[in-house]
Amino acid sequence: MYLAFRTLFVASFLAAVSFGLAACSIEDNSVTTVEESAAMDEGALAAVVLKDWEDLKTAMMEFGDAMPAENFDFKPTDELRSFGEQLMHVASAHLFYMGNLDTDAARPDLGEPVEKADVLQALSDSFDFGTEILSGQTDASLREMVDGGYLGESSRARIAYQAMIHTRQEYGVMTVYLRLNDIVPPASR
């Protein structure tokens, strides 16, 4: 059920962005066709994907900064990742997803940091890697089908949004880490 909803949501979103809400508007008693509207909105898809990615970086960097350095090794239970490990998991996932958009792009070496400053730098570097790749995309290239790894053949836009969905899911998980340390997550302030 969740997979079906997620797929429908992403497809609906991409269709709305790609074709614009005015695709069938009536202006001066003439109907604007989808093709005309899409041509007028060239670059809209690439711009919104890049903006969403950059906004997510801002949110995640604020989020990571909210946890004190001495609590980066905090785990709610022994079998879960620490807060720092969670952020590194997100950073590594960015390299996987965004690397599928441009397989020739040189992925940064994130290393295995444990200190807060180093973990946040690795997270920032992973977002910068995605920004560099997304900055080179066009609406047409985002619609192209590529190998999405475990996602199978997917459009580049779908892969980019899967990266963002994964990051938001992990953000939700990590809000518990902050709250268990009596910290209100930045988005809830």
Q: Residue 89's domain is classified under what CATH number?
A: 1.20.120.450
Spatial separation of the C-alpha atoms in residues 134 and 140, rounded to whole Å: 12
How many domains is the chain partitioned into structurally?
2
Q: Are 27 and 117 in a shared domain?
A: no
Q: Are 23 and 72 in a shared domain?
A: no
Q: Are 59 and 24 in a shared domain?
A: no
Q: What is the pLDDT of residue 165?
A: 98
Domain that holds residue 34: 1-41
Q: Are 14 and 93 in a shared domain?
A: no
What's the pTM?
Answer: 0.79
Q: Are 101 and 178 in a shared domain?
A: yes
Q: What is the pLDDT of residue 13?
A: 42
- In 3D space, the residue among 168, 44, 156 whose CA is nearest the CA of residue 105 turns out to be 156
CA trace torsion 41, 42, 43, 49 (10° rounding): 60
Output the tens digit of pLDDT for each of the chain's 189 residues: 434 434 444 444 444 334 333 333 334 444 444 454 445 488 899 999 999 999 999 999 999 999 999 999 999 999 999 999 999 999 999 999 999 999 999 999 999 999 999 999 999 999 999 999 999 999 999 999 999 999 999 999 999 999 999 999 999 999 999 999 999 999 999
Q: Which residue has the tokens 């695709």?
A: 23
Q: Are 15 and 56 in a shared domain?
A: no
Q: What is the pLDDT of residue 29?
A: 47
Q: Are 112 and 77 in a shared domain?
A: yes
Q: What is the CA radius of gyration of the chain?
A: 19
Q: What is the pLDDT of residue 41?
A: 80
Q: Which residue has the tokens 């079906």?
A: 4
Q: Are 50 and 25 in a shared domain?
A: no
Q: Are 35 and 97 in a shared domain?
A: no
DSSP reduced 3-state for 154: strand
DSSP β-bridge partners for residue 154: 146
Q: What is the pLDDT of residue 19?
A: 36
First-last CA distance in the chain: 32
Q: Are 57 and 93 in a shared domain?
A: yes
Q: Which residues contact 66 (CB under 8 A, 6 or more apart)?
A: 178, 183, 185, 186
Q: Are 26 and 46 in a shared domain?
A: no
Q: Are 30 and 54 in a shared domain?
A: no
Say which DSSP state 76 is in: S
- In 3D space, the residue among 175, 137, 174, 178 whose CA is nearest the CA of residue 159 turns out to be 137
Q: Which residue has the tokens 């965004």?
A: 98
